[in-house]
Copies of this chain bind each other. A is one copy, B any other.
Amino acid sequence: MLPLLSNPSLLQRIHKLCFICLPGLTFALVMAPEKKSKGRQKVEIVKMEKDANLQVTFSKRRAGLFKKASELCTLCGVEAAIIVFSPGKKAFSFGHPSVDAVTDRYLVHNSSSNVNTHQSNETHHDSSLEQLNLQLSLLNHQLEAERKHGEELNEIRKAKQTQFWWQAPVEKLELQQLEELKQALVELKGKMMQHINKLLMQASNPPSLLGFTTTEGFSGPVVNYPNDLGHGF
């Protein structure tokens, strides 16, 4: 049987969900897809460690940067220049109309009007050195505080993740809490079912799970559930 959906990652998610929530489910609509690639992964913006990847990343990102610059020049009709030194100490440059033209203009501009905006940051050039130093230490202080705060919160989160609320003794729960809990669980179940329905619907011709009303009757059960969620939990 052919997969009815061309998006493998969505299929994967559907299968995961069904495997967890509906054990024993014969998922006949879509075939289990195999992941061909992990796709793009999130990368922290810190110095890369692996030299092998570093070179590749540098090349890719340099190309992307130059392309962005080119687009900026074309779209807005402005002049720009970029100079980059590779990890191998080689110089790469981009310039529109040319690197020299832009650098010359920049030097003239700088020496004449003394205007300099730096690193997309609005630090004023006419600030005195002392003011800058002050800002620097202040920022260092704030940064440290924020970092500490972040770590603290991270600890809390980790603690909460390991020791979940539901592991607390049931006896401690009050009637009201129990009612709320029950209500929440019922809602959760509904959400789960609906979510799975939606994913299924995205995946293929919709199976006749609950939740739909259709003006034109359409065919019977497509998916077989040996273990109903209502009892499986």
**In this assembly, does A222 line the interface, its C-beta being within 8 Å of a C-beta of chain B?**
no
A155's nearest neighbour on chain B, judged by CB, is B153
**Nearest residue, chain B, Cβ from A149:** B150
A166 to B182, Cβ gap below 8 A? no
Checking B54, B64, B78 against A86 with a beta-carbon cut-off of 8 angstroms, the contacting residue is B78
Q: Is A41 an interface residue (CB 8 A)?
A: no
A-B contact pairs, 18 of them (CB 8 A): A14-B201, A14-B202, A27-B212, A48-B77, A58-B76, A62-B72, A70-B119, A79-B84, A80-B82, A80-B83, A83-B103, A90-B117, A93-B118, A94-B120, A123-B133, A128-B129, A136-B139, A153-B154
Given contacts A58-B76, A85-B80, contact A137 B118 (CB under 8 A): yes
Considering only CB atoms and an 8 Å cut-off, how many residues of chain A contact the other chain? 145
A213 CB to closest chain B CB (Å) equals 5
Residue interface bits A1-23, CB-to-B below 8 A is 1, else 0: 00011000000011011101111
Among residues 35 to 79 in chain A, which have CB atoms less than 8 Å away from a CB atom of chain B? 43, 45-48, 54, 57-58, 61-72, 74-79
**B residues in contact with A179, CB < 8 Å:** 20
A79 pairs with B72, CB closer than 8 A: no
Expressed in whole angstroms, the minimum distance between the Cβ of A52 and any Cβ of chain B is 13
Nearest opposing residue in chain B for A184, CB measure: B166
Contacts of A95 in B (CB 8 A): 118-119
B91 pairs with A118, CB closer than 8 A: no
The 8 A CB mask of A149-180 against B (1 = contact, 0 = none) is 11001101100100011110111000100111
Contact between A21 and B143, CB atoms less than 8 A apart? no
Q: A143 is contacted by which of B16, B64, B143 (Cβ under 8 Å)?
A: B143
Q: Beyond A21-B205, A57-B75, A142-B143: 12 further Cβ-contacts under 8 Å?
A: A4-B195, A25-B216, A27-B212, A61-B76, A118-B133, A119-B138, A120-B137, A121-B133, A146-B146, A146-B150, A157-B160, A166-B188
